[in-house]
Structure 1
Amino acid sequence: MTVIAPTTVTFFQNSLNEKSKILGAIDWDGKVLIICEQSPFHPVDHIWPDQPADKGEIVINDHCYTLEDCIVVTQSQDDEHFEFGSEITAKRFDEGWNYLVGHLISTDITADHLIGKAAELKVDENYRNALNLGHSACHLSALALNQAMELYWKREVTEDSLGHPDFDKMAISDSKVTEFKSRDEYRIGKSLKRKQGFKAAEALEQLENVQALINQTLESWVATGESITMIADGNKLNDTKRWQCRLNDKQAEIFCGGSHAVSLKDYQAITVKLQLSDDQGTLTMCTTATPA
């Protein structure tokens, strides 16, 4: 197989349907992983898999195939070999690698006979919208958490785009986006307390107040109905993308390669619940988005 051109992606523009040409196909444990010239599908990220892959269908030769998985694939420009998903060794901006979207389907057609065929790629709109609301709510709650934690720092640290100490960036250990929800885990370890100067004991003692402040902030932000935009340096999978929304009369910005809501008007409410682990080493924030 020759080197395949990088996939043109449109998910960050909230595209749900694209007609494209199949540029590559790989036999995959009795199934086929196809690579198209362009794709509206969001693949699960191989580095930070917070948002799951889109669901949907792919139509080839008037036959509709269910999308069974959607992953990131890289191909070396030198020796043409592929790497898949979590096995990818290339860094996001390494030269000599093409980033591709791999679409897994079950079909009796062999991989070789799929190359060059026309395909229509159709995203499950309801599922995508539910993930969009969950993912943007995740960013909003993280920014509100940073704001609520502002009082609990003894020294200056890295700030977020709104000018608050970036607790989310410094402490997050895991994040998962699901339909209308997200779940973020934060490690409250020695590094955060000693090196960064976070007053953990005081913050954790006042966790109910912190939660109340976050929910008040989210309520005020949702009421503004501000637009949410995705800014991208290009339309390739590994091009830098940024989530933006105007909050507190400032432009909030978070680097993100996912898909998102288009406005705070899409929400009736966003609420969070904070929970501390028994050993007080992990803080979990569960965010729920109620659609408008």
Structure 2
Amino acid sequence: MTLPTADTRVTYPVGELERTARVVHVASADDGRLAIITDVSSFHPADAAWPDQPADTGTISAGGADLAVLDAVVAATDGEVLALGADIPVRKGTEGWAFLVAHLIADGTAITEGDEVVIRADAATRRSLSRGHTACHAASLALNRALAGRWSKLARTDALGNPDFDGIAIASSRIEPNGSVDRYRLNKSLRRAGFDVAGLADELETLADAVTQMMAGWAAAGASVVVERDGDLLTDRRRWVAELPEGVARIDCGGTHVTSLAELDGVQVEFGLDEDQGTPILTMRTAVVADR
């Protein structure tokens, strides 16, 4: 079978769940599953380069049968080899490589190159992860504002003009159903940059209240959210855009989102402080009431 030469077109950034597509390649993954690659996909895939949001769940329908998609990952090919997930040897967008959505299904399925299929992402899973991702971005902006007084030196600023603690100190970010977990390194370089960590451990509850209340205000205002995109390809740049009372915030993002911060009604934020090999780690957890 020939390998694709063009990036997968994706429709999940605009909220689409279902898309009729043409199979352009079928490959066997190392774990025995089949990787189904289509010309277009409504599935959000996991990206090993920044694995914050998990893949959608759902099905591929072919020949009248609904086949479970066991996982979806970013794949890439230079025309000679196909690499999946963490095996991709180059950065996304590298010239001469096509970047693809690979839908992983059980082996033994009779799907072949050229088949027309229907890709369906599960609506409940998508919504819960979208709420978690939107909460993550909103919380990062609220956290930056709440910590602004701890900077004694000029620092790069975020989308609202506050010192970008989130962008400077982030170690990892994980989107969960209706929530998120972000971990920040309070290391020597952060302190040299002018961030004061003194007394922070005693103020975690106050910090959580400030961030929660700020997000609650944005939810009550019904701030709208859209995903701006430069094009339909998997590699095209996309941005999370929220019309907040303080102004329009834009954050580069390849994930999925709800269309209004009103969906975050009832959000709660918690903080914890621990260590990783002697480096203090601040953890922020967001949780959105699931049945609202």
Is residue 24 of structure 1 aligned with residue 16 of structure 2? no
**What do residues 136-190 of structure 1 show as CA deviations (whole Å, max 9, x unaligned)?**
0011111100000000001000100100000001111011111101111111010
Secondary structure of 1:19's match? strand
Give the C-alpha shift of residue 256 in structure 1: 0.5
Distance in 2 separating the partners of 1:207 and 1:27: 48
Is residue 271 of structure 1 aligned with residue 272 of structure 2? no
Give the C-alpha shift of residue 280 in structure 1: 6.9
Distance in 1 separating the partners of 2:32 and 2:188: 48
Distance in 2 separating the partners of 1:100 and 1:206: 45
**What do residues 176-207 of structure 1 show as CA deviations (whole Å, max 9, x unaligned)?**
1111011111110101001x110011433332
Displaced runs of 4 or more, over 4 A? none
Distance in 1 separating the partners of 2:184 and 2:33: 38
Give the C-alpha shift of residue 32 in structure 1: 1.2
Give the C-alpha shift of residue 30 in structure 1: 3.2
Match of 1:57 in 2: 59
Q: Is the 8 A contact 1:152 1:202 kept in 2?
A: no
Q: Is the 8 A contact 1:149 1:203 kept in 2?
A: no
State percent identity of aligned pairs. 36
Alignment of 1:211-226 (within 5 A): 211-226=208-223
Distance in 1 separating the partners of 2:203 and 2:223: 30
Alignment of 1:239-254 (within 5 A): 239-254=236-251
Gaps of 5+ in 1: none
Of the structure 1 ranges 155-164 and 199-208, higher mean CA displacement relative to structure 2 is found in 199-208
Is residue 93 of structure 1 aligned with residue 93 of structure 2? yes
Alignment of 1:94-133 (within 5 A): 94-109=94-109, 114-133=112-131
Q: Which amino acid aligns with 1:23?
A: V
TM-score by length of 2: 0.94
Secondary structure of 1:290's match? coil
Please provide the CA RMSD for this pair: 1.5
TM-score by length of 1: 0.94
Q: Which amino acid aligns with 1:11?
A: Y
Give the C-alpha shift of residue 282 in structure 1: 0.5
Match of 1:36 in 2: 38
Secondary structure of 2:20's match? strand
Q: Which amino acid aligns with 1:154?
A: S
Q: Is the 8 A contact 1:72 1:84 kept in 2?
A: yes
Match of 1:14 in 2: 15
Q: Is the 8 A contact 1:152 1:203 kept in 2?
A: no
**What do residues 59-111 of structure 1 show as CA deviations (whole Å, max 9, x unaligned)?**
111111100010101111xx42112101112112321111100001114246x
Q: Which amino acid aligns with 2:92?
A: R
Q: Which amino acid aligns with 1:282?
A: I
Match of 2:136 in 1: 138
Match of 1:81 in 2: 81
Distance in 2 separating the partners of 1:222 and 1:228: 11
Q: Which amino acid aligns with 2:214?
A: T
Secondary structure of 1:274's match? strand
Is residue 185 of structure 1 aligned with residue 183 of structure 2? yes
Give the C-alpha shift of residue 51 in structure 1: 0.5
Q: Which amino acid aligns with 2:281?
A: T
Paired residue total: 287
Say which of 47, 50, 53 aligns to 1:48: 50
Match of 1:173 in 2: 171
Distance in 1 separating the partners of 2:171 and 2:225: 25
Match of 1:198 in 2: 195
Q: Is the 8 A contact 1:9 1:236 kept in 2?
A: yes
Distance in 2 separating the partners of 1:59 and 1:147: 47
Say which of 66, 70, 73 aligns to 2:72: 70
Alignment of 1:144-163 (within 5 A): 144-163=142-161
